[in-house]
A = this chain, B = another copy of it.
Amino acid sequence: SENLGSTDPLLDNEAVQAVRHTYPPGSESGMHSHDYPFRVVYVLEGGTAEIVPQDSTKATRTITFKEGMTMYVPAATHNVRNVGETQIRLLEIELKP
């Protein structure tokens, strides 16, 4: 069965929804969609991840997350897989339109 990471809900109000994802080595998010147009992602703990789009015609990307990296990311449907040796922790702040 899938080795799923975990998600801590942090804040959810009219403007934002903030969660923290924790992916031990070898774990993954499972295929999921993001509900809001854009979100801010801040890397709390870095590592190497594969981003596998649901749309199999799109390429899987390997990304090296470094602590402190801050990204502004559009909605997508994908699976995030920790293919590295270190735990990955991401803060995700969805911006509600």
Q: How many copies does the complex hold?
A: 2
Question: In the complex, what residue of chain B is closest to A10 when comparing beta carbons?
Answer: B70
Which residues of chain A from 2 to 19 have any CB-CB distance to chain B below 8 Å in the complex? 8, 10-11, 13, 15-16, 18
Chain A to chain B contacts (Cβ below 8 Å), 26 pairs: A8-B68, A10-B42, A10-B68, A10-B70, A11-B40, A11-B70, A11-B71, A11-B72, A13-B72, A15-B38, A15-B72, A15-B95, A16-B40, A16-B72, A16-B95, A18-B40, A18-B42, A18-B70, A20-B68, A40-B93, A42-B42, A42-B91, A44-B44, A91-B91, A93-B93, A95-B95
Query: Which A positions have Cβ atoms within 8 angstroms of B?
Result: 8, 10-11, 13, 15-16, 18, 20, 38, 40, 42, 44, 68, 70-72, 91, 93, 95
